[in-house]
Amino acid sequence: MSRNPTHNLLPPYTAEDHSRHRFIMAMKKYLGRQIRPKLRHLVDPSLTSEDQIEEALYGNDIYQTWCALSRASQEQMWQSVLGPLEKDRTRIEGLGQTKTKGSLALDPDLTPPEAMQKINVHLQPGGYLANTGETDMMAGALYECGGALYSRGQGIGTTESKAQMVMRFMTERYPDFKPRRILDMGCSAGSSSVPYAEAFPDAEVHAIDIGAGMLRYAHARAEQLGQTVHFHQQRIEQTSFEDQSFDLVISHNLMHELSLDSQQAMMREAYRLLKPGGLTIHQDLPIRYKDLDTYTRVDLLWDKYFNGEPFWDEYANNDGEVLLNNAGFDGDMFIGKFDQIDKTFSWYLIAAQKEDQVHA
């Protein structure tokens, strides 16, 4: 399955829509890959502290202009897919009523994390928790359509999905591992859940997220793609599943949306849920502050300040080995970068195998 498979939930874009998308992708590439690296020259190299560099950057007119343009391009990206989705909302929500595979279990009493209630992550209109009614799926639709456009704007290849990359890593490192029960944590629109159902047709695939609208879309999307996935509205810190009930617990691009406490809680929950010999693999952006110079660390905080990413630095400063050890893992681990198959991008992975014999 490709990174962006076509299915009936996607809106029919007009020639004008495609033209707008091409402009936005070109703008984001220009700002991010051509202009951003040159902004370093705005800061006197004698400045060494993060506070000094931040003051110099944000006090500079050129950097302020870049910030405004970058923020505007992100907002325009969402608006460019929101319009077509709104026009097609009735048809999309109608398709969401088709239920022939998998399942969807929503919890109206679930309390989302406070940060998610206050911000629109990635500036997505309405945020991840948007939910206007019993058939609303707009949060998931926006996430998939906007995310596809964002990835192209970043130059990330489309020959391999994030899930396919993780499965390739799994095949190379654990060639004899064949999961029978899989859990995708923080599944959002389900784009990384479905490939596991396709790759392991005999496995039972479950996926959790906190947004009802996101999950309705994820379930409908899996149905349209002909795959069986069981979606649940639950928090990753404490699920309702039984101890040692999964062979594989995964997440994709989730850690950077979590506080350090929630990252640690997710690892503990993964350990609790895994059977002896089971695997946990968490994939995310390759941003490690310990590997970066002071200027780059300051520059990357732009996403925290202006792109709805309150835990950006908590993720970039996390220690995968500490997270795994504190959760109980002390067997085989992998913590580092892993390339996409087309070499267009490297992802950061935190992976561990639970011991075959769990200590008493």
pLDDT tens, 176-202? 999 999 999 999 999 999 999 999 999
b/e map 8-18, b = 16+ CB within 10 Å: ebbbebeeeee
The token pair that represents 102 in the structure block: 């998998």
Residue 153 has pLDDT above 60, yes or no: no
Check whether 249 has a pLDDT greater than 80: yes
Phi/psi for 232 (5° steps) reads -135, 140
Are 253 and 222 within 8 A, CB to CB?
no
279 closest CA partner among 202, 228, 350:
350
- Least-confidence region, from 109-123, 177-191, 315-329: 109-123
pTM over 0.85: yes
- Please provide the CATH number assigned to the domain covering 162-353: 3.40.50.150
Domain range summary for the chain, segments of one domain joined by +: 15-102+114-153, 162-353
